[in-house]
Amino acid sequence: MKEITEMLQQVAARLFNEGLEMFIGYESGSVPAKARPYFAAVQGETAALVFNPFCEHNLAKYLVRFPNAKTAVVVKGCDAGAVERLVKERNLDRTRITVIGVPCGGMLARERVLAELPQDGKITAITDRRDAFVFQTSKGEHVLEKKAFLLAKCLICTQNNPTGVDLMLGKEAPPVGETGKDPYARVKEISALDPPARAAFWDRLMDRCLRCYACREVCPACSCTECCFEQAVPGWQQGAIWLSKAVTLPDNLHYHVIRAFHVAGRCTGCGECERVCPVRIPLMLLNRKLAGDIDELYGPTPPDVPSVLCTYATGDRDEFT
Amino acid sequence: MDSKIIKKDKLLSLLERFIAGYHVLAPVREDGMLVYRPVGIPGDVELNPGRSVLPPKGRFFPQTEILYSYRIEGEKLTLEEYVEEARQVILFGVHPCDLRSFAVLDAVFTEEPRDAYFTARRNNTIIVGVSCSSVLPECFCTAFGISPVEGNGADIHLTDIGAGAYLVEVLTPRGKELLQKFDSLFEDNVAGAEEAKRAKEASLIKKISLSVKVNDLHEKMASIFENPYWEKISRRCLGCGVCTYVCPTCHCFDIMDDGAGKAGERFRCWDSCLFREYTLHTSGHNPRHALAQRLRNRFFHKLSYNNQRYNIEGCVGCGRCVALCPVNIDIREVIGAVRGLV
């Protein structure tokens, strides 16, 4: 991953010479096998930029925080759609953004990687060898087969080379997802359960939701400046408050179902909601379920339409009249 | 107080008897995570647990707790308060960092006027501590003078000393009273147990990778309140509540009412200083409108205000916020930065 990291640093340096004000990329994290979002605001800060298979974060939403600056952002295949969506919904001015695409060989599941690498070995280099990542550590070389170590979302990925970017770094990456895998397989399994079993499945998971709102805060489709769930109205004054602040199973379910419907047709499938959940609720199942339903009801979304549920045609199905 | 030895199979029998006579909360595995749950089978309990996702503070300070309910029938108003009735709960398997966190919470909730809800739950709970058996990359309890094998704050403390044996330290009269009932399960403290515990401590402390120094932090914090550092670190902060909700010492809550008209209830629930509406005034003014101000507040609370106000550190070095922050905001780095800036 050394070349791509160097390319990123060079591109960032060049863009700052051309008047860039903020470069949004990744730097190494504070613990082994971790990366994190990084913001370079001046030329001198570009040396910390990296790209490696721990750069799992979707950086698109950070663009909204710099409405008046000339910004550049690093995107993987699964992140690019989020930039496009934010532009389509007029949250971003595309003309002041430089979108930098990186070919992605898949992101690794950190826990599994750490379990595999020697505990006191320091990672010195990572190389992408198509079917595996090769780790050089202070305790020797380790080959991690992608099939066994990639994040689940990467194993069904069909878009690991970003589109719609201004600048593409490096060579196109070969596909990482296993061909013939049905992205809806798990959704179908859950949908096939009889209603009490399906309710039990979700109740168990939603019961442990903390309502920390990490899923909402990270979601590039949750772009409202004020969420419908954060209206600070005391209970006894509530005209129409949507959600009690009490963390109970019905309120948790209510929150997640409403959020899923708000992002339906707009979710770009980056999976950030599921990644950030501290209690491991498989939130992408809800998003995928709705994506599948929308596909089935309306067919593929035409490219000039912001999203299926944000537009209408007089000939649309209307079951209510 | 005294100490004894218990063999692992006997420890399971002890748990079985605990379960028969008490409500037992203990760490169990759920979808690969460690969580405290009411247990019914000793075999479900993790005896050398490691770090739970959520700290055990929820036993004393539940995320949502009904304070009282009201009902109006005709001319009559009925209020019902929900202070926990006396019942015996055993909170099993608490590590030293979380044991220290109970002292932090006590300082807040049991100073006068005492919080009746917290105090009732605290008084109803017997705490069984357990020494750490491993160190995770985010652990740094030693920075706050905590030893991974000491049971301060527990009624009874267990240390796995190898060969299927646990050292049992009885630390309070309440712990003594509890164990007296099950005397036959224990063996007398064998020679070498204390040495085994010390050896374990030394090997664990050696594994705590990052050395964090906090001795001069309070004075330093005061001088960097306006430093641009806070804006810089907040750029990647999502403004979610993960760090505060997984923190064993965070104790902010909101009080709200549910219901309307003739019946309803007043409850309190966890709140987070990272949330936008946390400091939002009725007027619409928000004194901490920027994320940088909110994030700064959290670190000042952990590393300065708590100590000033209660004379006890607001952080216990459990590492949960470090491990679970979705964007790797690491309090150890913040401490390092603060010390480096002045």
Examine the domain organization and report whether B190 and B225 are in the same domain.
Answer: no
The complex scores an ipTM of 0.94
* A158 HSE (CA, 13 A, CB side): 7
State the average pLDDT over residues A253-282: 96
Residue B323 lies in a domain: yes
pLDDT score, position B281: 86
Residue A315 is encoded by which pair of tokens?
């000939």
- What pLDDT, on the 0 to 100 scale, is given for residue B219? 84
Does B322 lie in the same domain as B286? yes
Instruction: Specify burial of residue A304 (Cβ count, 10 A radius: 0-12, 13-18, 19+).
Output: exposed
**What is the C-alpha to C-alpha distance for residues B315 and A204, in angstroms, rounded to an integer?**
31
- Worst-scoring range by mean pLDDT, A97-111, A196-210, A225-239, B263-277? A225-239
pLDDT band at A235 (very low <50, low <70, confident <90, very high): low
Q: What is the DSSP string of B144-200?
A: GT--TT--TT-SEEEEE-STTEEEEEE-SHHHHHHHHTTGGG-EEPPTTHHHHHHHH
Domain contains A316: no
Q: Are residues A296 and A200 in the same domain?
A: yes
Which token pair is B260?
Answer: 């309307």
Half-sphere exposure in the Cβ direction for B9 (13 Å, CA):
0
What's the helix, strand, coil split of chain B in %, to 5?
40, 20, 40
In a domain, B260, yes or no: no
Residues B134 and B241 in one domain: no
Chain CA centroid to CA B286, Å: 30
Same domain? For A9 and A156 the reply is yes
The tokens for B146 are 């905590």
Q: Kindly state whether residues A90 and A203 are assigned to the same domain.
A: no
Query: Under a CB-based contact definition with an 8 Å cutoff, are residues A128 and A143 in contact?
Result: no
pLDDT digits (tens, 9 = 90+) for B41-95: 999 999 999 999 999 999 999 999 999 999 999 999 999 999 988 789 999 999 9
Q: Do B240 and A218 touch (CB under 8 A)?
A: yes
Residue in this structure with the two tokens 């199973």, named with its chain if needed: A249
Task: Determine the Cα–Cα distance for residues B150 and B170; give it in Å rounded to an integer.
Answer: 12
**Are B260 and A238 inside 8 Å of each other by CB?**
yes
Quote the pLDDT of residue B38.
97
Q: What's the whole-number average pLDDT of chain B?
A: 94
Q: Is A175 part of a structural domain of the chain?
A: no
Find which of B233, B272, B282, B328 to mutate to test the A interface (most A CBs within 10 Å of its CB).
B328
Enclosing domain of residue A302 = 185-310
pLDDT tens, B294-319?
A: 999 999 999 999 999 999 999 999 99
A282 reaches B (C-beta below 8 A): no
Structure tokens of A198?
């399906």
Looking at the fold, whether B299 and B331 belong to one and the same domain comes out as yes
Count of structural domains, chain B? 2
Point out which residues pair with B27 in neighbouring strands: B36
- The C-alpha atoms of residue B246 and residue B214 are separated, in whole angstroms, by 22
In this structure, the answer to whether residues A162 and A221 fall within a common structural domain is no
Verify that B153 and B239 share a domain, yes or no.
no
Q: Are residues A285 and A159 in the same domain?
A: no
Cβ atoms of residues B77 and B71 within 8 Å: yes
Strand partners, B265: B69, B258
- Indicate whether B23 belongs to any domain: yes
The predicted pLDDT at position A237 comes to 59
Inside any domain, residue A179? no
CA distance A35 to A107: 11
By the 10 Å C-beta count (0-12 exposed, 13-18 middle, 19+ buried), A60 is classed as buried
Instruction: Measure CB to CB from residue A30 to each of B32, B260, B333 and give the nearest one.
Output: B333
Look at residue A259 and tell me if it is in a domain: yes
CB contact under 8 A, B240 and A230: no
Cβ B195 vs Cβ B15: under 8 Å: no
Counted domains in chain A: 2
Q: How many CB atoms lie within 10 A of CB B72?
A: 12
Question: A213, A218, A224, A242: best mutation site toward chain B, by most B Cβ within 10 Å?
Answer: A213
Place of tokens 């509890």: B178
Residue A215 to residue A222: CA distance in whole angstroms: 9
- Residues in chain B predicted with pLDDT less than 50, given as ranges, are none
Does B72 reside within a domain?
A: yes
Looking at the domain assignment, is residue A280 inside a domain? Answer: yes
On chain A, the residues whose CB falls within 8 A of the CB of B336 are none
Q: Is residue B265 part of a domain?
A: no
User: What letter would DSSP give residue A175?
Assistant: P
Provide DSSP, B70-95: EEEETTEEEEEE-PPPS--EEEEEE-
Q: Are A150 and A133 in contact (CB under 8 A)?
A: no
Q: Give a yes or no: residue B261 inside a domain.
A: no
The answer, yes or no, to whether residue A318 has pLDDT greater than 80, is: no
Note whether A14 and A154 are same-domain residues: yes
**Contact across the interface for A246 and B32, Cβ inside 8 Å:** no
Half-sphere CA count of B315, side-chain side, radius 13 A? 32
Query: For residue B326, how many C-alpha atoms fall within 13 Å in the half-sphere facing its CB?
Result: 29
Asked whether residue A127 falls in the same domain as residue A216, the answer is no
> What is the reported pLDDT for A233?
63
Residue B25 lies in a domain: yes
**A218 and A116 part of one domain:** no
As beta bridge partners, residue B28 has B35
Same domain, A15 and A145: yes
Three-state DSSP class for residue A188: helix
**CA B212/CA B337 separation, integer angstroms:** 11
- Supply the mean pLDDT for chain A: 92
Contacts of B63 in chain A (CB under 8 A): 210, 247
Contact A255, A273 (CB under 8 A): no
The reply to whether A69 touches chain B by the CB within 8 Å rule is no
Is there a domain that residue A118 lies in? yes
Same structural domain, A34 and A151: yes
Range of the domain at B301: 217-254+270-341
Q: Does B82 touch chain A (CB under 8 A)?
A: no
Task: Please provide the distance, in angstroms rounded to a whole number, between the alpha carbons at the two ends of chain B.
Answer: 45
- Considering the domain architecture, whether residues B177 and B224 belong to the same structural domain is answered as no
Q: Measured between beta carbons, which residues in chain B are less than 8 angstroms from residue A66?
A: none
Of A294, A270, A299, A266, nearest to A284 by C-alpha is: A270
User: Which tokens in the block code for residue B178?
Assistant: 């509890």
- What's the CA gap between A292 and A182, in Å, rounded? 12
Question: Is beta strand B89-94 parallel, antiparallel or unpaired with respect to B125-130?
Answer: parallel
Residue A321 predicted with pLDDT over 70: no
The strands making up B33-38's β-sheet, listed across from edge to edge, are B33-38, B23-30, B89-94, B125-130, B156-160, B165-170, B3-7, B187-188
Q: Does one domain contain both A139 and A235?
A: no
Q: Does B331 share its domain with B228?
A: yes
B35 to chain A: which residues are within 8 Å by CB? 208
pLDDT band at A239 (very low <50, low <70, confident <90, very high): low
Q: Are B241 and B272 in contact (CB under 8 A)?
A: yes
A234 touches chain B (CB under 8 A): yes
Smallest CA–CA distance, residue B283 to chain A, in Å, is 12
Judgement on whether residues B125 and B180 belong to the same structural domain of the protein? yes
Domain end: A116, A135, A168, which one?
A168
Query: A229 to chain B: nearest residue by CA?
Result: B277
How many Å is the maximal CA-CA distance in chain A?
Answer: 70
The answer to whether residues B286 and B335 belong to one domain is yes
Domain shared by B36 and B85, yes or no: yes
| Whole-number pLDDT of residue A240 | 56
- Residue with the two structure tokens 């019902």: B80
If asked whether residues B330 and B199 sit together in one domain, one would say no
d(CA B162, CA B133): 10
The answer to whether residue B299 sits within a structural domain is yes
pLDDT tens track for A17-52: 999 999 999 999 999 999 999 999 999 999 999 999
Q: Measure the CA–CA gap between B166 and B153, rounded to whole angstroms.
A: 19
Overall pTM surpassing 0.90 (yes/no)? yes
- Residue of B240, B254, B260 lying closest to A212 (CB–CB): B240
What's the confidence (pLDDT) of residue A241?
67
Distances from the Cα of B14 to the Cαs of A101, A257, B181, in angstroms? 59, 44, 10
Q: Examine the domain organization and report whether B184 and B107 are in the same domain.
A: yes
Same domain, A11 and A102: yes
A276–B275 CB contact, under 8 Å: no
